[in-house]
Amino acid sequence: MAISRPTFRHALPALLCGAFSLAAGPFAVAVHAANAAGIAGVFDAGWSTAYYPQDSITHMHQRLHALGMDEVVLQYAAVEATHLYYPSQLDFLQNTQYKNNELFPKSIEAAKTVGTKIWLGLYYNGDNWYTPPTAEQLDTLSARNLKVLEEIYALYGSETVVAGVYIPQEIARYYWDGLRDDATPEMLTEHFLKPVTEAAQAKGWKVMAAPFYNQNLETPEKLQTFFENLFAAGFKPDIIAVQDGVGASDAGKHHAETTNVGNYERAVAEACNQYGIEFWVDMELFRTDDSHALADSARISAQLDTAYAAGAVKVIGYDLAVLGNAGLNSLEKWKLESSVEPPAGIAAPRTRNEKSQKRELFLNGRLQNSRSLNENSQYFKANGAKVKQN
C-alpha cells in the first residue's frame, strides 16, 4: 500500500473474483488506435492479480495493450511482513505473511507475449510518513531497497520488457517542509531518494516516483518550490508521475478538484522541466464515495484533458483493483481520448539563472542533519492527508 492510496488487502471488490476476460478482434485494435492520447498505463498493487494463473495475467495484459495501456507499474516488490511478489532469498523478507512470489515473473512473461512494459516496484516497509522518518530510519530504508534492487536485477536485469523501477514511498511536501526541524528535502534526498535512484540508473534502469499533494495543505507555488528543492539537492529520477488526487478525500475534504488540479500539475511540470525530468500524471480512477469503484467517464475525461494540458507526456491510472473486468469493459465502451495532444517527449533542461545555480550548489554541499531535533516541535495531525478507508 502506498501512503495515500486505498487499501485492498482485506476486502477486494466482487468484480475482481476470477480471471480477467480477453477482449479480442478488431474492436480491441480500434480502441488501441483511438486511445493514443488516453490512459497510457496502470498501477498493479498485486492485491488480486498475485493470485491469478499465468493465462489470466496474460489475458489481462492483452486487454490493457488493446486499450493503449502499455505501462504496467507493479507497485511493490515486497510490503514488509505482508506481501512478497517475487522469489526473494533476503532474510528480512522471509517472514512475509503472503508470499505471492510469482507476480513479477508472470507479469514479465505476459509483457513479453503481448508487448506491454513492466515497471518493478521496490521495497515498502509498511510505514506511512505521517511522522517523517529520521535520517537513520531513511538509511535503513535505503539499504533494504538497495538489497531488493540488487536481487531483482539479478533475476530480471536481462529482460527487455522491464522499463525500470518504481519507488513506492510517496513523497508529500508537507512532511518534508518544516514539519520537524530535521525533516527537509535535502535529508530525504541524501539519505534515501538519491542513493536508490542512482543505484537503479547505474544498472541502466529508469526510475519513476509518484508523489502526492493535498490542496488543503499547500499552494501550487509551494509545491513547485518543494520539487525544485528536491531536484536541486540531487534527486534526479527519470519520471515524476504526480498523483492528481481527484477522488481522494479525508474527513469530507477533497485532495483535489477537477476545476483546479491543473494548477498543481503545471507547478510540478514546471519544476520537472527545469531539471530535464519527464512529467507524467498518475490519475486516480476511483470514486470519492467508494474507493473500490470506477469513477464516471465525464470525470476521467476531464482528468485526462487537464493532465495533458498541464504538460504530461503520459497519463497512467490507479489502479487495476479499481478497474477489474467491469472497469476494463467500461473503458472499452467509452473509448476515452484526450482532446489535448501530449508533448512529444521530455523537454530539455532550462538554463537556470545565476541565483538558481548558486542555490543548487549550496543544497548539494550542505551538511545533512546539522540541526538538532526539536523535541517540542508540533507534528502534523492528519486532517486531509490520507484517503478515507472504506
Pick from 292, 143, 279, 145: nearest CA to 211: 279
- Can you give the pLDDT at residue 37? 78
Q: Is 121 in a helix, a strand, or coil?
A: strand
Q: Which three cell numbers stand for residue 358?
A: 548558486
Supply the pLDDT for residue 285: 94
pLDDT at 105: 98
Q: Dihedral, CA atoms, 219, 223, 228, 233, nearest 10 degrees?
A: 130
Query: Beta 249-250 vs 253-254: how paired, if at all?
Result: antiparallel
| Amino acid making up residue 200 | A
- Give the range with max mean pLDDT: 70-74, 254-258, 341-345, 382-386: 70-74
Query: Any bridge partners for residue 13, and if so which?
Result: none
Query: Is the pLDDT assigned to residue 33 strictly greater than 50?
Result: no
Cα–Cα distances in Å, from 182 out to 173, 185, 231?
14, 9, 18
381/297 Cα distance (integer angstroms): 34
Residue 24: per-residue pLDDT: 39
Least trusted range by pLDDT, from 137-146, 186-195, 274-283, 323-332: 323-332
User: How buried is residue 5: exposed, middle or buried, by Cβ count under 10 Å (0-12/13-18/19+)?
Assistant: buried
Of all residues in the chain, the percent with pLDDT exceeding 70 is: 79
Evaluate if residue 54 carries a pLDDT over 90: yes
In the predicted model, is pLDDT for residue 355 greater than 60?
no
Residue 382 pLDDT: 28
- Is residue 259's pLDDT more than 60? yes
Counts for the chain of helices (H) and strands (E), in that order: 11, 13
The region of weakest confidence among 31-35, 49-53, 251-255, 299-303 is: 31-35
- Residue 246: DSSP 8-state: B
Percent of the chain surpassing pLDDT 90: 64
Measured between its terminal Cα atoms, the distance across the chain in Å is 14
Would you say the C-alpha torsion 83, 95, 166, 50 has a positive or negative sign?
negative
Q: Which residues lie across from 279 on neighbouring strands?
A: 240
Instruction: Tell me the whole-structure pTM to 2 decimals.
Output: 0.83
Q: What is the mean pLDDT of the chain?
A: 82
What gap in Å lies between CA 51 and CA 16, rounded to an integer? 11
- Cα–Cα distance for residue pair 102/328, rounded to 1 Å: 23
Query: Between the CA of residue 286 and those of 235, 241, 261, 387, what are the distances in Å?
Result: 30, 17, 16, 11
Q: Summarize the confidence of residues 319-331 as an average pLDDT.
A: 89
pLDDT recorded at residue 5: 55
Q: What is the pLDDT of residue 127?
A: 84
CB-based contact 233:198 (threshold 8 Å): no
Residues sharing a CB contact under 8 Å with residue 101, sequence separation 6 or more, in sequence order: 84, 85, 86, 87, 88
Residue 35 has pLDDT above 80, yes or no: no
